[in-house]
Amino acid sequence: MRKTMVLKWMGVLGFLAGIVFGGMNFTSATKNSGDVEWNGKQLSTLEVNGKPYVPAEELAQASGSELHKKRNHYTVSSRLDRIMKKGVIRVGTTGDYKPFTFYNTNTKKFEGYDIEAAEIMAKDLGVKVKFVKTSWPTLMNDLLADKFDMAVGGISRNTERQKTAQLTRPYMNEGKAPLIRMEDKEKYTSLQAIDQPGVTIGVNPGGTNQKFVDANIKRAKVVVVENNLEIPHMVAEGKVDVMITDSTEAMYYASQDKRLYAALTDNTFTKSQKGYLIPRGDSVFENWVNLWMDEMELQGEFTRLKEKYIYNKQSK
């Protein structure tokens, strides 16, 4: 009975009994009050001869992987294998951040730069894509709950997110830049030129735009506008003079309205990058996604998407 139990359960502290991991890179586990914590998830344990074991099924589920048994060996495959076996990749996205992700209420479909990129990824995998609606406050928890295999849609790479999940290589560099009127392009050529009495800056509350404005604007007038989508129109109509936002967003709105101009996009006030978010601990899946992104860059696909969705230039 005990021999059967040992074969059924897999040790995590110090060794994994009878288990072959197909190239996966697992973080070390720790024992806590009788439970094992793996990548922030509590797994139930069973002690055999004073050593803790966790069910193979639980570890596979926690990693979003498939569990295979052949004779007395268990193999936990990569999420990549599961995706190809099921024939679908689940992609989480917020649908509220143009030009990366936008939910079209008329067509009932997601659109945007990262939406098309995800569709290309699914095609290259030979599977279908299923978009899963999420939100910025629940994005990380939804990923950890295995509601989707990866998240896309203008996700900024930062160390805080990397603590909990895995960020891919970057596919776009950006930073804070001013959106102004075309007629003022020779006037607002620096942050110092913007931060002057008589200049009005529109900003949405609670985000990184307001954090930057609060930290750097000392002389200009700041108007807080609840709805971020209204500010570009306010700039165009002369109700405010400047909107400081992500350079990609500034370029998008400038491409949509000839009255607007995205300034200093080649020399942004801050530096940041966009990437995709995947569960950590699966080097096989991570390596495939990063290589796919390298190929997208090499073949000019990311450039094409940038031209289409940010600069509003349709290919002939």
Q: Which of 4-18, 92-106, 144-158 has the lowest mean pLDDT?
A: 4-18
Q: Quick one: pLDDT at residue 251?
A: 92
Computed over every residue of the chain, the mean pLDDT equals 84
Q: How does residue 70 score in pLDDT terms, banded at 50, 70 and 90?
A: low
Q: How does residue 27 score in pLDDT terms, banded at 50, 70 and 90?
A: very low
User: Who wins on pLDDT, 71 or 305?
Assistant: 305
Amino acid at 181: R
- The first and second tokens of residue 103, run together, are 């939910």
At 200-244, the pLDDT tens digits run 999 887 667 888 999 999 999 999 988 777 899 999 999 999 999
User: Who wins on pLDDT, 156 or 43?
Assistant: 156
0.85 cut: is pTM over it? Answer: no
Q: What share of the chain is helix, strand, coil (3-state, %, to 5)?
A: 35, 30, 35
Amino acid at 13: L
Alpha-carbon distances of 129 from 7, 80, 87, 114, 211, rounded to whole Å: 37, 14, 9, 13, 36
- The first and second tokens of residue 22, run together, are 């197909």
Q: Quick one: pLDDT at residue 51?
A: 67
59-62 own/partner pairs: CB under 8 Å, 24+ apart: 59/10, 59/12, 61/146, 62/38
Q: How does residue 180 score in pLDDT terms, banded at 50, 70 and 90?
A: very high
Check whether 103 has a pLDDT greater than 60.
yes
Residue 105 buriedness (CB in 10 A; 0-12 / 13-18 / 19+): exposed
Q: Quick one: pLDDT at residue 204?
A: 82
- The first and second tokens of residue 152, run together, are 């896309």
Amino acid at 35: D
Check whether 111 has a pLDDT greater than 70.
yes
At 246-288, the pLDDT tens digits run 899 899 999 999 999 999 999 999 999 999 999 998 999 999 9
Check whether 34 has a pLDDT greater than 60.
no
Amino acid at 238: G
Kindly state the average pLDDT of the residues 5-29. 44
Percentage above 70 pLDDT, the chain: 74
| φ/ψ bin of 227: left (φ > 0), alpha (ψ from -120 to 50), beta (otherwise) | beta
- The first and second tokens of residue 274, run together, are 């966009």
Give the DSSP per-residue string, 141-166.
Answer: HHHHTTS-SEEEEEEEP-HHHHTTSE
Q: Are 62 and 41 in contact (CB under 8 A)?
A: yes
Beta bridge partners of 68: 75
Q: Quick one: pLDDT at residue 54?
A: 63
Residue 186 buriedness (CB in 10 A; 0-12 / 13-18 / 19+): exposed
Q: How does residue 32 score in pLDDT terms, banded at 50, 70 and 90?
A: very low
3-class SS of residue 255: helix
User: Cα angle vertex 51, ends 48, 53, to 5°?
Assistant: 75
d(CA 60, CA 76): 6
- The first and second tokens of residue 150, run together, are 């990866």
